[in-house]
Amino acid sequence: MLVGLELYIGGVLLLLGAAFTLLAAIGVVRLPDLYTRMHAASKAGAVGGGLILIAVAVLSQDASVSMRAVIGVVFLLLTTPVSAHLLARASYLSGYKPCSQTLIDELASNNEQNPAT
């Protein structure tokens, strides 16, 4: 039993990662506007992909593979917020307005004061 424990852990991590990725995809379809969708894609997506890579690291039982998988996770966690931030900023500046449910938009009032930015 104890011998295969890491295999069980790896399998559960793999399933969790796949489930989070599916939830991220469902969120991207169901949420009302780009900015809320970005919450689903960047958080659930990064965690889902990261968990799958960690599962590979646990299951491979090979130091070089595990190391590369961990580096892949770090890389994923570094790049996902950067691309989400860049896309959000580019969309906002090109005129993508948040959906009508949005309560306050302090970025809009700031841009009216100094439209040059």
Partner 1 sequence: MSTAFLVVILALIWAGISGNFSGLNLVFGGLIGGVAVLVLREALVGPRAFRRARRMLSLAVLFLYELMVSAVRVAIVVVRPDMSNAVRPAIVAVPLTVTSDAEITLLANMITLTPGTLSVDVSADKSVLYVHALHMVDRDAMIADIANGFEKKIREAFE
Partner 2 sequence: MTPEIFIEWAALISLVLLGLALLVSLVRIVIGPTLSDRILALDLLTVVAMGFVGAIAVRTGLWLFLDIAIALALLGFLATVALARYILLRGAGTQTAAGENS
Q: Residues in the site for partner 1, rule: CB under 8 A?
A: 20, 23-24, 26-27, 30-33, 35-36, 38-40, 42-44, 46-48, 62-65, 67-68, 71, 77-78, 80-82, 84-85, 88-89, 92-93, 98-99, 101-108, 110, 117
Question: Nearest 10 degrees: CA dihedral of 70, 38, 87, 22?
Answer: 50
Question: How many Cβ atoms sit within 10 Å of the Cβ of residue 72?
Answer: 17
Among 34, 33, 55, 40, residue whose Cα is nearest residue 101:
33
Closest approach, Cβ 76 to partner 2, in A, equals 6
Q: How far apart are CA 40 and CA 105, in angstroms?
A: 20
Contacts of 16 (CB under 8 A, 6+ apart): 51
Closest approach, Cβ 100 to partner 2, in A, equals 7
Q: How far apart are CA 87 and CA 54, in angstroms?
A: 27
Binding site for partner 2 (CB under 8 A): 3-4, 7-8, 10-12, 14-15, 17-19, 21-22, 24-26, 28-29, 32-34, 37-38, 41, 45-46, 48-49, 52-53, 55-56, 59-60, 62, 65, 68-69, 71-72, 75-76, 79-80, 82-84, 86-87, 89-91, 93-100
Closest approach, Cβ 103 to partner 2, in A, equals 15
